[in-house]
Amino acid sequence: MEKNDKFFLPELPYGYKDLEPYISKEQLTIHHQKHHQAYVTGANAIFEKLENSRKDNTDIDVKSTLKELSFHVGGYILHSLFWKNLAPANQNKNPEGALAETLNKEFGSLEKFKKEFSQTALSVEGSGWAALTFEKELGKPLIMQIEKHNANIYPTLEIILVLDVWEHAYYLDYKNDRLKFIEAFWNIINWEEVNKRLEKIK
Ligand code: MN3
């Protein structure tokens, strides 16, 4: 893979109005172009700050700089994953293959998984994310909460499905009704992409 020396805002795999009526064009545009862009810009600025301090041999507050960096890198990565696990509702199929098997085995049914994932997203304190991961040693899917963009992450587990429940993700469409946004989310999931991610790490 060709490497860049900084982050760029990835293009969405669909148009800004393609997730309507579940996510409006206005909401998706601002979320992608303003919020996701802010993490790209933030991370790149800190990379530059680190590079300069190494080059010029100047001291910086390493602890706070690295904390801020993890916030922006987390925001960049999570949004990049999030856009790809969404798809227009009319392209939506149910989970198949390894994903369907894994979810059924662990949760009993897709409905039960959705309920647990929804409760996870609903109960994130303040701003954060719900994410589905897979633990290879036990062969077990795990649901986790991510506070802000960077707290409480299982350090090595790859995310296969993620939902942004920061208010900036839904406020224009749903005001403060997070539950309504979570319910809408289930209509626009790219299960094929989620299955691909699972099969890659299994
Ligand atoms: Mn967001």
In terms of pLDDT, which residue wins out, 83 or 4?
Answer: 83
Mean pLDDT in residue range 57-81: 93
Distance 168 CA to ligand 1 centre (A): 6
Ligand 1 centre to CA of 138 (Å) is: 31
Single pTM value for the model: 0.91
pLDDT of residue 90: 87
Dist. CA 79 → ligand 1 center (Å): 6
Tens of pLDDT along 14-29? 999 999 999 999 999 9
Q: pLDDT at residue 155 above 80?
A: no
Q: Report the candidate in 75, 83, 82 with the shortest Cα–Cα distance to residue 39.
A: 75
pLDDT attached to residue 59: 92
- CA-CA-CA-CA dihedral for 80, 82, 88, 94, to nearest 10: 130
Strand partners for 21: none
Q: How far apart are CA 150 and CA 77, in angstroms?
A: 10
Domains annotated on the chain, with CATH: 24-84 (1.10.287.990), 89-201 (3.55.40.20)
